[in-house]
Amino acid sequence: MHPWLTYTVFGVVAALASIALFFFTLTRGALLVRGALGRLQQEAAHVYPIYSNMRLIRLVDYQPIIAGILLFQYSRLVSIITHSLKRTDLTGQQVLITSCAFGNVMPRVVKAAVQAGASKVLVADIIQNELDHAKSKLLDYTGKITYQKDDAIAMNQADASVSANVMFFLLHELPHHLKIEALAEAMRVLTPGGKLYLAEFHRPRPWLLRALSWTYFKVFEPYGLALWSTHDPVNLLHEMPGVSCERHVVFFGNFQVIVATKAA
Query: What are the residue boundaries of the structural domains of the chain, listed by start?
Result: 67-262
Q: Which helix (H) or strand (E) holds 258?
A: strand 255-262
Quick: pLDDT tens for 74-118.
Answer: 999 999 999 999 999 999 999 999 999 999 999 999 999 999 999
**pLDDT band with cut points at 50, 70 and 90 for residue 45:** low
What are the phi and psi torsion angles at 59 (to 5°)? -70, -40
Lowest mean pLDDT among 51-60, 145-154, 194-203: 51-60
Q: Is the pLDDT of residue 42 over 80?
A: no
Beta bridge partners of 262: 243
| pLDDT score for 35 | 66
Fold exhibited by the domain 67-262: Rossmann fold (3.40.50)
Residue type, 65: I
Q: Is the pLDDT of residue 259 over 90?
A: yes
231-248 pLDDT tens trace: 999 999 999 999 999 999
Question: Can you say how many angstroms the Cα of residue 156 is from the centroid of all Cα atoms in its chain?
Answer: 20
Q: What is the pLDDT of residue 147?
A: 97
DSSP secondary structure letters along 153-197: TB--SPTT-EEEEEEES-GGGS-HHHHHHHHHHHHHTEEEEEEEE
| Average pLDDT score, the chain | 90
What's the number of CA atoms in the CB half-sphere (13 Å) around residue 13? 6
pLDDT band at 125 (very low <50, low <70, confident <90, very high): very high
How far apart are alpha carbons 57 and 43 in whole angstroms? 20
Q: For residues 261 and 244, is the Cβ–Cβ distance under 8 A?
A: yes
CA-to-CA dists, residue 221 to 57, 124, 175, angstroms: 18, 23, 10
Q: How far is CA 149 from CA 118, 125, 231, in A?
A: 21, 5, 26
Backbone angles phi, psi at 38, to 5 degrees: 70, 30
Half-sphere exposure in the Cβ direction for 140 (13 Å, CA)? 8
pLDDT tier at 52, thresholds 50, 70, 90: confident
